[in-house]
Structure 1
Amino acid sequence: MDMNKQKMLTKLKRHQWPMYIIVILAYMLTLFHRMTPGIMGPDLMKDLQLTAITFGFMGLAYTWVYAIAQAPVGTLMDKIGARKGITALLILGGIGGFVFAGAQGFTMLVIGRVILALAVSGFLIGGAKITSAWFTSAQYPLLWGLFMGLGALGSVVGTAPLGQLMDTVGWRPAMVFVAIFSFVLAVVAFLFLRDKPGEKGLLTPDELAGIAPIATDDAANAEQAGIGTVLKSPLLWLVFLLSLGGNSHAQCFGGMWEGVYLANVFGFEKPMIGSIMVWYAWGIVVGCFLSGVIVKALGSRKTMFYGVILVALNWIWLMTQPGTIGVTELKVFNFFLGGLQMFVISTTFIFCREAFPVSYLGTTMGFLNTSVWVVAAGVGQQIWGLIIQSVSRGVTPYPVSAFTACMWFNLILSIIAIGCAWILMTNKKYSAASQTSTDEEKTA
C-alpha cells in the first residue's frame, strides 16, 4: 500500500467508528420506544384515565405508522442521504417525546406516539447506509450483526432501567430526558456523520482494502432507481416471503399472543409469564450478534436457508406439545424464537446489501420492513385473533386447540420460506451478485 493510501486508511478509521457508534445509539431508540408502553402502561392508564380499548389503540397507531413509514422513509434516505435523514428523524423524535410527555389527554398521547413512530422508522435503514458506505464488504456482515445486536439492547433499556427512572422522577420527566437525548444526538449526528468517504476526500473502504466492487446494476441507472425499480425485482419477492416465514412466528406469538396463550392454557400469572418471555428478548440480542459471525463463515444464502429451517423446527417443537410443554422448555423455546427471528431478519438485510445497489438500499430495506411488518404484525396478529375466536366461540379461557390451529398458519409460512431460501441458494440467477461478494469476503 502506498503512503497516500495508508494516510487515507488512517483517516478512514478515525471517522468510521464514531459514526458507527452514533447510528447504533440512534437505532437503540427504535427498540426503546417500542418497549416503553409496556412499562409506562399502568401509569398512563391511571394518569390519563385510559381504558383498555384506548390504550390498545395507542399501540395500534404506533405499529401501523411505523410499518407503513418504512418504505417512504427508506426512499427519502436514498435521495437526501443518511446524514440529513438521521438528523431530521432524531429532531422529530425529540419533538415526539415532548408531545408525549406533555399530553394531558388521549388525543395528544396518540399524536406523540405517531410522531415517535415516524421518527424511529428510519434508524435501521440509515444505520445500514452509513455502515455500508464506511466499512468494507468483508467487514459488513459482522458489523451489521453487531449493529442490530447492540441496537436490540434498547429494548432492555426500555424495560427495567426505564422503570427505575420512572420510580425516581415519574413517567413524564423520564420521557423528557429521552427527548433531550434525541436532540443532543441529532446535533452530534449532523456534526459527525457523512454519507460517503468521498466527502472527506477518501476512497471507498473496498478500494483502500483492494477489494473489487460488488457486481450490481449500472451505477448511473441505480441512482435514478426508486420503489418502482425495486418492486419489479423477483429477487425482492423471494426475500420478502423468506423474511415473512422467518419473522411471522415471533410477531404473531411472541409479540402479541404468547401472554394470552400462557395465561389461558397454563394458568400462569404475570410474574411467571414475564420470567418466560424475557428469554425471547435476550434471544433477539444473541441472534443479531450471531448472524454476522455465521454469515462470515457460510455466506448469506446458506445462513438464510439453515436459519428458516431452524425456525420451523423450533416451531414444530412447540406444536407437538402445546398443552404439556414445561416452563424450562418454554424458556428455551422463547430464546430460540427471538434469536432465530433476528438471525434470519438480520441475514436478509446483509443479503440485500450484497444483492442490490447501495444507491437504493434504503428503498429495498424500507419496503421489506414495511411489508413484513404489515403482513406479519398487522395482518398475522389479526388472523390469530380470528382463528382463536372461531375455534373457541368466544369462550374463555381459550382452549389449547385454538392456539394449535393458529400455529399451522405460521408453519405453512415457514415451509414457503424454506422453498424461497432454497431457490436463492441454488439458483444462479438469484445468487450471482451475492456470490461475488461472498467469494471476496472469504479471500479478504
Structure 2
Amino acid sequence: MPRDRPRRPTFAPGGVRAWVTFGLGVVGYGTAVLGRTTLGVAGLSAVEHFHARASIIATFVVLQLLVYAAMQIPAGVLLDRYGSRRMLTLGLATMGIGQIVMAFADSVTIAIPGRMILGAGDAFVFSSVIRLLPSWFPPRRVPIVTQFVGLSGQLGQIVSALPFAWLLDARGWRTAFLAVTLTALAAAALSWTFLRDRPPGIPAPVRPAVGMRANLRAAARHPGTLLGMWTHWTTCFAPMVFGMMWGFPYLTQGEGVSKPTASLLIGLLAVVGAIVGPMLGVLVQRHPLRRSNLVLAMVAAGLVPWLLVLLWPGPAPLWLLVALCAGLAVGGPGSAIGFDFARTFNPGHRLGAANAVVNLGGFTACVIATQLIGLVLDAAGDGPDYTLGQFRLAMAVQLPLYAVGIVGMYLTRGRARRVLAAQGQVVPPWREALRREWRARTRGLNRPRV
C-alpha cells in the first residue's frame, strides 16, 4: 500500500485571504472613525443647528465617549465569546442607527441619544478588527499591520475633514449625516457577508475553565495590559480632542484661521499619521523591548508644540500650527503600541478583554479633556465668539492629563519589566543596547532587537 503523504496546510499566514480580511477590517474601522469625528467638523454648525452653547455641544461628544468607554469591557468580553465578525457587524450597524438619529434630530434632546447610540456601536469596532490580526498574520507582521489599521482610521478622519465638511456646507446637515449613515450600513453588510474570524481549518483559541469575570480580572491586573492602557491614555487623548471636537473651533475662532485652512490642518493629522504609522510599525518589530521609549518620543512630539502654541504671544504662526497638527498626528500610531503591549503580555483567549482595558485609557482621558474644555470656555466667556485667550486657557486643561499619563507609564513599565525579568528576558540599559548595536554593525551581523 502506498504510504500516506502528509497533508499540505490549508492556510499560509499572511496570504491573500489574510489581506482580504485585513481590507474588510480597514473598511470597518475607517468608517467608524468617519462617524466618530463628524461632530468635530460640524461643531460650529451644531451650535447654530441646535441653538446651543459650546458646553452643550461638547456634551454630545462627552456622552458619546462615556458610552464608548463604558462599553469597552462588555465589548471585550463579548468579543472573546462571539468573535470579530458578529461584533464588528453589530458595531457598524449600531453606528448607522445613531447617525440616522443625528440626521433627523432638530433638538439637543434627540441628538444626544443619537450620539450615545453611535458611541455604543463604536465600542465594538476597533477591538474587533485588532482581534482578527493574530489569527490571520504571523506574529512578526502583526505590529506593522496594526499600524495599517490605524492608518485606515486616519483615512476616515480625512473623509470627515474634507468630503464630509464640503457636503455639510453644500447640502446641509441632514444630507451629510445620511451619507455617513449609508456608509456605516454598507460596511456592516460587507463585514457580515465576507468576514471570517479565523482561517479555515484553524481551531478557535482554547478557553481555560474560568469565568468571564476572572478572565477580565487577569487581563486588567497584568502590568503589561496597564502599560498599554497608560500608553493609550497619553498618546491618544490629545489628537482625539483636537480632531473630534475642539480643533476646528480653536483654529477658526481662536487662531483666526480660515475654514478651508483649518480643514487642511485637521486633515494633516491623518496625512502625517499615515506616513508615521508604517515606519513606527517597523521600529516596533525591530526593537520590541524599546516600545515604551518610542511612545515617550511620540508624546513629546505632541506636547512640546502645544506648550509653544499656548505660550505664544498673539496668534500662532501657520508654521507652528502645522507643527502642532503634525506632532499630534503621531499620537494615533503611537497609541497602537498600547495594543501591542496587550498582545504580547496576554494569551489569546483573553486578548479581547485586554484590548478593551487598553482602549479604555485614551477615551477616558478624551472624555475628561473634552468636557473640561467646554466648561472652561463657558466660564471664561459667553460664546459663541470666544477669544484666543479663552481658547488657550481651555486647551491648557490637557497638560495635567499628559502628566498623569506619563507617570502611569513610568510606574507600569517598571512592573512590566520585572515580569519580563522573572521570565528570563532582561531589558538592557541604553548604553549596553547601543554597544551591542555597534558591535553587530561592525561585524556585519544581524542587529539585535533591543
Aligned residue number for residue 201 of structure 1: 201
2:327 aligned with 1:327, yes or no?
Answer: no
CA positional deviation for 1:346: 0.7
CA positional deviation for 1:174: 3.9
Report which stretch shifted further, 184-193 or 130-139. Answer: 184-193
Report which stretch shifted further, 277-286 or 83-92. Answer: 277-286
Aligned counterpart for 1:227 among listed residues 200, 216, 228: 216
Aligned residue number for residue 72 of structure 2: 70
State the distance in 2 between where 1:46 and 1:400 align: 19
Secondary structure at the counterpart of residue 220 of structure 1: coil
Aligned counterpart for 1:133 among listed residues 132, 135, 151: 135
Aligned residue number for residue 419 of structure 1: 410
Deviation per residue, 1:208-251 (Å, 9 max, x gap)? xxxxx9xxxx9525785532222332333333233323334445
Gaps of 5+ in 2: 428-447
Aligned counterpart for 1:160 among listed residues 155, 159, 162: 162
- Asked whether the equivalents of residues 66 and 121 of structure 1 are also in contact (C-alpha less than 8 Å), the reply is yes
Deviation per residue, 1:299-341 (Å, 9 max, x gap)? 2x412323213423652455367215642133123202221x1
Secondary structure at the counterpart of residue 88 of structure 1: helix
Aligned counterpart for 2:328 among listed residues 323, 329, 337: 337
2:386 aligned with 1:398, yes or no?
Answer: no
2:272 aligned with 1:283, yes or no?
Answer: yes
State the distance in 2 between where 1:260 and 1:177 align: 23
- Asked whether the equivalents of residues 99 and 112 of structure 1 are also in contact (C-alpha less than 8 Å), the reply is yes
Aligned residue number for residue 99 of structure 2: 97
Aligned residue number for residue 308 of structure 1: 296
Q: Which amino acid aligns with 2:349?
A: S
Q: Which amino acid aligns with 1:237?
A: L
- Asked whether the equivalents of residues 125 and 362 of structure 1 are also in contact (C-alpha less than 8 Å), the reply is yes
2:352 aligned with 1:350, yes or no?
Answer: no
- Asked whether the equivalents of residues 67 and 120 of structure 2 are also in contact (C-alpha less than 8 Å), the reply is yes
Q: 1:97 to 1:305 in 2, by over 3 A?
A: same
Q: 1:308 to 1:3 in 2, by over 3 A?
A: farther
Aligned counterpart for 1:293 among listed residues 273, 278, 282: 282
Q: 1:50 to 1:362 in 2, by over 3 A?
A: same
Aligned counterpart for 2:61 among listed residues 52, 59, 62: 59
Q: Which amino acid aligns with 2:116?
A: V
CA positional deviation for 1:24: 0.9
- Asked whether the equivalents of residues 227 and 338 of structure 2 are also in contact (C-alpha less than 8 Å), the reply is no
Aligned residue number for residue 33 of structure 2: 31
Aligned counterpart for 2:353 among listed residues 363, 375, 380: 363
2:114 aligned with 1:109, yes or no?
Answer: no
Q: Which amino acid aligns with 1:201?
A: G
2:228 aligned with 1:239, yes or no?
Answer: yes
Q: 1:219 to 1:112 in 2, by over 3 A?
A: closer
1:376-391 residue pairs with structure 2 within 5 A?
376-382=365-371
State the distance in 1 between where 2:411 and 2:425 align: 15
State the distance in 2 between where 1:101 and 1:184 align: 17
Identity in percent: 21
State the distance in 2 between where 1:398 and 1:366 align: 37
- Asked whether the equivalents of residues 71 and 123 of structure 2 are also in contact (C-alpha less than 8 Å), the reply is yes
Q: Which amino acid aligns with 1:156?
A: I
Count of aligned pairs: 420
Report which stretch shifted further, 104-113 or 412-421. Answer: 412-421
Secondary structure at the counterpart of residue 312 of structure 2: coil
Q: 1:434 to 1:201 in 2, by over 3 A?
A: farther
Secondary structure at the counterpart of residue 98 of structure 2: helix
CA positional deviation for 1:352: 1.1
Secondary structure at the counterpart of residue 38 of structure 2: helix
Q: 1:433 to 1:366 in 2, by over 3 A?
A: farther
- Asked whether the equivalents of residues 85 and 191 of structure 2 are also in contact (C-alpha less than 8 Å), the reply is yes
Report which stretch shifted further, 355-364 or 380-389. Answer: 380-389
State the distance in 2 between where 1:179 and 1:405 align: 35
State the distance in 2 between where 1:263 and 1:170 align: 20
Q: Which amino acid aligns with 1:147?
A: V
Q: Which amino acid aligns with 2:190?
A: V
- Asked whether the equivalents of residues 41 and 244 of structure 2 are also in contact (C-alpha less than 8 Å), the reply is no
Deviation per residue, 1:369-428 (Å, 9 max, x gap)? 224312x11224455677889999x99653799479646524533641552475267435
- Asked whether the equivalents of residues 424 and 430 of structure 1 are also in contact (C-alpha less than 8 Å), the reply is no
State the distance in 1 between where 2:111 and 2:166 align: 22
State the distance in 2 between where 1:263 and 1:117 align: 27
CA positional deviation for 1:29: 1.7
- Asked whether the equivalents of residues 32 and 156 of structure 2 are also in contact (C-alpha less than 8 Å), the reply is yes
